[in-house]
């Protein structure tokens, strides 16, 4: 049974810097992102991980591979750990989306079951993140490398919170988030920690 779960967001990408919705698309880690990942990997050694699981998207997989080099663990790819699919919004800047599709954007934010155009809803992501977490029960101290929205939604699942609570959690690049098991429940021990990047 999993005793400690560390959720990690990938390092900064060139699209993160530009404010572009990536979703299932991808962009390379920036120079800053590569530095973040190296510092993150060194810090994660202290958490005595016994497994690494990663989204298949390149920005997460690159981050996971650096962690694997430092810890000596193998990266296991889990497709359900992908970021939210933003559909036709992918490749566009978020501030433009908010301006040009204001009504749809507001519904997508406010309604858990309302999908982005040709993409996913928050409820869709929650369902597959739950499936992903269920596959990790054999690892006692796994590191999970994934994405900002996926992590915020995972937190609501682990802490048994309303899905809408995900909107109130910050999640920065290369952040680590630590959950520990207390009996049958998860307790949040550390959230959005990027002190290794300072």
Q: Which of 135, 130, 125, 128 is nearest to 51 (CA)?
A: 135
Catalytic residue among 3, 12, 69, 83: 83
What gap in Å lies between CA 146 and CA 138, rounded to an integer? Answer: 19
10 is catalytic: yes
Residue 19 and residue 95 in contact, taking contact as beta carbons nearer than 8 Å: yes
Residue 81 and residue 132 in contact, taking contact as beta carbons nearer than 8 Å: yes
141 is catalytic: no
Residue 77 and residue 56 in contact, taking contact as beta carbons nearer than 8 Å: yes
Catalytic residue among 10, 15, 122, 147: 10
E strands in 94-195: 142-146, 176-182, 185-193
Backbone angles phi, psi at 77, to 5 degrees: -85, 130
What gap in Å lies between CA 12 and CA 33, rounded to an integer? Answer: 4
Give catalytic residues, as residue numbers. Answer: 10, 83
């Amino acid at each position: 049974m999993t005793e400690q779960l560390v959720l990690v967001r990938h390092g900064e990408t060139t699209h993160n810097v530009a404010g572009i919705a990536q979703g299932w698309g991808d962009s390379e880690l920036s120079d800053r992102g590569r530095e973040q990942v190296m510092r993150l990997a060194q810090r994660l050694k202290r958490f005595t991980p016994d497994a690494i699981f990663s989204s298949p998207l390149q920005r997460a997989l690159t981050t996971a591979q650096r962690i694997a080099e430092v810890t000596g663990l193998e990266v296991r790819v889990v497709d359900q750990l992908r970021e939210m699919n933003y559909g036709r919004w992918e490749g566009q800047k978020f501030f433009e989306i908010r301006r040009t599709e204001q009504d749809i954007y507001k519904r997508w934010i406010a309604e858990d079951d309302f999908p982005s155009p040709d993409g996913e809803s928050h409820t869709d992501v929650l369902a597959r993140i739950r499936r992903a977490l269920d596959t990790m029960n054999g690892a006692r101290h796994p590191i999970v490398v994934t994405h900002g929205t996926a992590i915020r939604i995972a937190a609501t699942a682990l802490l048994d919170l309303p899905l809408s609570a995900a909107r109130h959690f910050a999640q920065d690049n290369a952040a680590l988030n630590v959950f520990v098991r207390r009996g049958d429940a998860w307790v949040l021990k550390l959230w959005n920690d990027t002190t290794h990047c300072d």
